[in-house]
Chains A and B, each alone.
Chain A
Amino acid sequence: MARNPDADNAPVKKEIESPTSKYDAEKASSFKVVGSRPARPDGMDKVTGRARFGADMVMPGQLVGLILRSPHPHAVIKSIDSSEAEALSGVKAVVTRDDFAPNDDHADVLYNIMAREKALYEGHAVAAVAATSRPVARKALKLIKIDYDILPHVTDVDEAMSPNAPVLHDDIITKGVNPAPTKPSNVVARSEFGHGDIDAGFAQADEIIERSFKTAATHQGYIEPHACVANVGADGMSELWCCTQGHFHVRQVCASLLGIDVSRLRVTASEIGGGFGGKTTVFIEPVALALSRKAGRPVKIAMTRDEVFKASGPTASSSMNVKIGVTKDGRITAGYGEFRYQGGAFAGAPADFGAMSAFACYALDNVKTEAYDVVTNRPKGAAYRAPGAPMSVYAVESVVDELAARIGMDPIDLRLKNAAKEGARSSYGPKFGSCGLVETLEAAKAHPHYSASLGPNQGRGIASGFWFNFGGETCSNLNINADGTVTIAVGTPDIGGSRASMCIMAAEELGIPYDKVRAIVADTSALGYNDTTEGSRVTFSSGMAVIKASQQAVTEMCKRAAMMWDIPAEAVTWEDGCAKPSGPNAGDFEPLSLAEIAATAGKTGGPIAGHHEYNADGAGVSFGTHIVDTEVDPETGKVDIIRYTVIQDAGKAIHPDYVEGQFQGGAAQGIGWALNEEYIYGDDGKLQNAGFLDYRMPVASDLPMIDTVIVEVPNPGHPYGVRGVGETGIVPPLAAIANGVSAAAGVRMTELPMSPPRVLKAIDDAKVAAE
């Protein structure tokens, strides 16, 4: 039970040579703070209950906001009569679709936060009230009369694609099909990726396997429901407190939907209780602002868990076909996949990302993927950790696993033989730069887990996975305080310990101890625009902004020292937290520490600060390989996870504890997706399991310890070599577990989740087929 000895956790390093790289190999060889594991700056508040999350804010005179939601999965809203609710004592405002002007820039978001002509899913917001107390608000919701004209509904992706399906939107004409269809349908778009000639490739194959797969929709499952407090003044000056992954995005969208200037809306990101992509958009925030504007008082809205399930974004469910051909000696000659994803009632299912990442782990001469983005009468999907990739990779990695068995080759060897590497053409088009898939596969093969013996009814699965990662608009400020401490302001909400990483990087650049630096997430009025905390971008992008801001402050501090010494600024260097003369010719002066320079800053030219604003490019892709041992109870079909190991390329782990945490958390969410979690719809189109009891996420007793190996193949696009690590971890588990369960049960599992009834049925069907 003790922590693994350091030797087991030692990162696997790889040197890179890239003359044009922004990666600073010399610096990386002598890190003092980067790679250490200090306590996080927000930790004390979080273990004592003092940290303030979305629902913890109280504004003076605040009202309770509640939202009325459609009980029907698909219905025309003929009329809304809120007069009785408005007349109820204690009700201060009611808003409906009539309170929001049409908006071309955010048409779907607007339609989703408050239904317009139709309610498109069970739980779709149709009206909202603000009242002096919760009981009054509840009573008011019951007094709102809505006249619905109920329409037929569809919730399954394949059914939604059929010509007879009820059509959700009259204006969806499938894009990407030639000739263009003349009639509307539920298929938003078809897209295609790949290169080479798959027919020729399959002709070269000795073995070909083709299979169909399905996965259920799952929810991000953050423990904190969406919550916000909005306060709109009579002069239009507005403030919004909310739990979000991107408060600048929230400001942008809300200002647009309410028709107010961006400068008049100040958004503060609260501590955020999990997001995983689900808090990258708005649901309740514009509604709270509209209620506050109408009521003239602050309004708080906090979703219930039922609302979170029914009306905030789950991920897509999928239906997929994959066909892969391989030679006897293990060369994959062709790969083909068709990926049909439904993403709820609006366009945007991440089918294209699924198609792009499906074969990303392989360097293939012939590959083709097709993606279909489909709408159904379900809640509008939101991003969920590597959106679209876990499902498509599950399908591909399942077939690869089966092919390895068919040709009698070790599944890691088969992957190594075909692995994507630097210079190889990716299945989504561009060639890969530096990347670490091969290193994760080699580490997996060498890991004791891979060669450990298995018990009865147990099976081992492995799978690899990939995510793109990206950068985006970012800025940060860094202030050198008079006492020699440093404060950093970043604009990317801290969802998993990133403030600690920011402090580490500043401390490294400035040459001062970690505990002299404090990072905060600033509100939208304090910094320029920052893209959302998503795409595994924060440690990469905000981190680089902090490094550049630190360097700017160092330049200024060197200048101040030069002034005091009366030598040219170029003759001063920064070393170990001090300004020093750069050589014997510069003169003989005692080094000046950051604290000494800071103490006299007022007399040498004023406060010292650094800042950096940029659009971060050069995020490095991240690959991972997972190993899992599963045990299947042949009597009940229940699957236990016996042992789990995550191996992933982090580029450089700034704070290894939180890198491991991302690996472990991604794996645990993947385990839930593979084994238990699913949105279950009845024939009535209503969600049957909108609660944690029936939508069962993994609990502590479901899981073993989750081992981690941090591989470090530096990203040439970051001074410290950082790659994003947040998302890749959820990509391999679905496939790895399916491969393990298939091995243990002796039958290929092609539908997720692998809940006990489904596993039992597969075992029984296989027995019948064998007889």
Chain B
Amino acid sequence: MVQVTLSGTIQQAAGGISSLEIEAKNIRQLLNGVEKQCPDLKPELEKGIAVAINGTIYRDDWFQPIPEDSEVFLIPRLAGG
């Protein structure tokens, strides 16, 4: 089980849900699980988000493994200048 914290616009889009528990071994499974539990998040997920695993920020890099007991955050996808 991975404990996922939703933040920012993602938390608001999920109707205020701040955390989820999802069975996932990689980012793709995680995002599928999130979408199943919070269908409201589909547009956000399709737009692209970022996933922080133990402090390292990934984009929607599907097959990035999520180690057991990782700390996982869904945060807005970053843009830069």
Chain A positions near chain B (C-beta within 8 angstroms) = 175-178, 189-193, 220, 275-278, 280, 350, 352-353, 355-356, 371, 383-387, 428-433, 467-472, 534-537, 615, 617-619, 717, 726-727
Question: Does more than half of chain A's interface fall in helix, strand or loop, or is it mixed?
Answer: loop
A430 contacts across to B, CB distance below 8 A: 52, 54-55, 57, 71, 73, 75
Q: Could you jot down 28 A-B contacts, CB within 8 Å?
A: A177-B12, A178-B12, A276-B81, A280-B81, A350-B79, A352-B9, A353-B78, A353-B79, A356-B8, A356-B75, A356-B76, A371-B8, A387-B79, A428-B8, A431-B54, A433-B54, A433-B56, A468-B78, A470-B50, A470-B78, A471-B59, A534-B80, A536-B80, A537-B80, A617-B56, A617-B57, A617-B59, A727-B80
A377 to B7, CA, bound (A): 30
Q: 8 Å CB contacts to A: which residues of B25-65?
A: 50, 52, 54-59, 61, 64
Q: Given A430-B73, A619-B57, is A189 in contact with B9 using a C-beta cutoff of 8 Å?
A: yes
Q: Which 8 A-B pairs have CB atoms at the shortest separation, nearest pair first? A: A277-B81, A535-B80, A176-B12, A430-B52, A385-B81, A534-B80, A191-B9, A383-B81
B59 contacts across to A, CB distance below 8 A: 470-472, 615, 617
B61 contacts across to A, CB distance below 8 A: 615, 617
A469 to B52, CA, bound (A): 13
A340 to B43, CA, bound (A): 24
A536 contacts across to B, CB distance below 8 A: 80
A433 to B80, CA, bound (A): 20
Q: Give the Cβ gap from A173 to chain B, nearest Cβ, in Å.
A: 13
A535 to B59, CA, bound (A): 13
B: contact size bracket: 20 to 34
A619 to B64, CA, bound (A): 15
Do A429 and B56 have beta carbons less than 8 Å apart?
no
Q: Give the Cβ gap from A360 to chain B, nearest Cβ, in Å.
A: 12
Do A429 and B5 have beta carbons less than 8 Å apart?
yes
A353 contacts across to B, CB distance below 8 A: 76, 78-79
Q: Given A192-B12, A536-B80, is A617 in contact with B7 using a C-beta cutoff of 8 Å?
A: no
Residue B13 CB within 8 A of the other chain = yes
Q: Give the Cβ gap from B42 to chain A, nearest Cβ, in Å.
A: 14
Q: Given A430-B55, A433-B56, A618-B56, is A175 in contact with B81 using a C-beta cutoff of 8 Å?
A: no
A617 contacts across to B, CB distance below 8 A: 56-59, 61, 64
A355 contacts across to B, CB distance below 8 A: 8
Do A277 and B80 have beta carbons less than 8 Å apart?
yes
Choose one: B15, B55, B81; the contact of A384 (CB below 8 Å). Answer: B81
A280 to B81, CA, bound (A): 8
B75 contacts across to A, CB distance below 8 A: 356, 428-430
Choose one: A275, A386, A429, A717; the contact of B7 (CB below 8 Å). Answer: A429
A726 to B56, CA, bound (A): 19
Do A429 and B52 have beta carbons less than 8 Å apart?
yes
Do A534 and B71 have beta carbons less than 8 Å apart?
no
Choose one: B9, B16, B80; the contact of A175 (CB below 8 Å). Answer: B9
Residue B3 CB within 8 A of the other chain = no
Do B55 and A431 have beta carbons less than 8 Å apart?
yes
Choose one: A177, A387, A470; the contact of B57 (CB below 8 Å). Answer: A470
B8 contacts across to A, CB distance below 8 A: 191-193, 352, 355-356, 371, 428
Do B78 and A535 have beta carbons less than 8 Å apart?
yes
A717 to B64, CA, bound (A): 14
A432 to B56, CA, bound (A): 8
A430 to B51, CA, bound (A): 10
A383 to B55, CA, bound (A): 24
Q: Given A430-B73, A433-B56, A468-B57, is A175 in contact with B78 using a C-beta cutoff of 8 Å?
A: no
A431 contacts across to B, CB distance below 8 A: 54-55, 71
A277 contacts across to B, CB distance below 8 A: 80-81
A428 to B50, CA, bound (A): 12
B57 contacts across to A, CB distance below 8 A: 430, 468, 470, 617, 619
Beyond known contacts A353-B76, A429-B73, A470-B80: 18 more, CB 8 A cutoff:
A176-B12, A176-B13, A177-B12, A178-B12, A178-B16, A191-B9, A192-B11, A352-B9, A352-B76, A383-B80, A430-B54, A430-B55, A430-B75, A470-B50, A534-B79, A617-B61, A618-B56, A619-B57
A17 to B25, CA, bound (A): 27
A694 to B48, CA, bound (A): 39
Choose one: B11, B56, B58, B81; the contact of A534 (CB below 8 Å). Answer: B81
B52 contacts across to A, CB distance below 8 A: 429-430
